[in-house]
Structure 1
């Protein structure tokens, strides 16, 4: 069953005690440079540092007491793992997080800090899935998929709900796309609240499987993705793809150089720290200024969990 806007409204009520209602910020100078009126939903200020807290909280709080007692498990390179660990901690249950050895150290520390058990694996999807299967078999924990889970999709959709509630009527709502949990939740919400608005995604050229999947009409897995936007390396899921196919108008791909320029613009003009994945929709706006000229655009800034040492070395 495809999630509905009612499911997202229910998720918003369920997770309210566990999340921040993050601010919506704008910048005259960024508006001037882009030629559009931009409203940034700042999930970099969210608990655990990213929008992922919404989906993780909804999934954890949706569990029965019997399910919760066995704990939760997932595989994650960072933000979903952090969010699930924190959500589990808030409910007083165990969290088992399978992480690739290459995950940023700042994210490993955060997951450990929330009391989760970290299980390291090789940095391939196969290794992540195999290791997770062993953990679930050993512990009986409930697998909470990072994006291919209705409970997660509904939780992520609450960010767009708040964005739309806090702004005047938007012409376009934008989010980056990796596995598609945020984008599909955003699309359901926007379609219900602003039926005339378009939903447009930004995606790195070095990990453009969602763009290619929409063109092909079927899921084309991400193979050897290579981009600075390390939160967008995953392939679309079987639950997210049909929603995106139905409700998302377009996916625009951008280069790492364009992502870095957009990232730098937000850092310098808005004085807030975001991670590279967040900058992808703004990079798309800057790449195609004529398309977006004069439009009111809501952009979800997805998170601020930056590995500063690794990032600053690229400047």
Structure 2
């Protein structure tokens, strides 16, 4: 669609809306493609809500480890809801338009919850380190007040880190003919590349956020597991070593499920410009959808208390209906 000449002649331009895209080249099949996407969203929301209900309604799960798991589940629900409306609107109804300010709001929440998830995984690694290295003082150190403070710090850190991003974008002059985004949601690297201005500050700040959050978190998680491994190897009984490591399996899988797609997406955005647009889109969907889908499955399979509590919630629901 041609824009009026008045748009082109002005010195500063911000588009009233961006256009979102589903799967490039497969627009005719969006109806069929929406089926697996809808299923994944349903699994992510149902699984994480079940974990929240199971922990809330089971007094025996009112422990630090499960409080952190509930934080992870709540973050996954929030991350899922931040992309669900626009993704399904594109796939179901071919509704591609999203207002400029709405786009910035979605982008803020998407990146904020991503940082929160990284921080929660770090807190969970600290929890496992304390439980294995100092089990006698574990409950005394991780009291309810301490866990609440950790949660407040996590949310504050993520909010403060991402808060400048929308304002850095609002100062930019955008190109009138570059309003088509590469995803069905607003992603910071994608949005900033639609600008006609110098985006060096945006790039540098984006790198700072990644370095000060996910990069530091991943290093500290690795350090936590190095200390855990050293502690476990110091245990006398092989059975005790296996038991201690088994308590970490679910968290290790959750870390891998989150960080491997995150690293892959970061690499592709910076060095994979020659790749097909479908690759960029699919990697982004993997990063945003796979962790919320797999985390409930991982914890329900690997953690017997969580599995039993979830089954109890489902039985009560079945009896109630």
- Bin for the TM-score computed over the shorter chain: under 0.3
Question: Which protein is richer in helix relative to its size?
Answer: 2
Relative contact order, CA 8 A, sep 6+: which one is greater? 2
Task: Compute the TM-score of the two structures, normalised by the length of structure 2.
Answer: 0.25
Which entry has the higher C-alpha Rg, 1 or 2? 2
Task: Compute the TM-score of the two structures, normalised by the length of structure 1.
Answer: 0.25
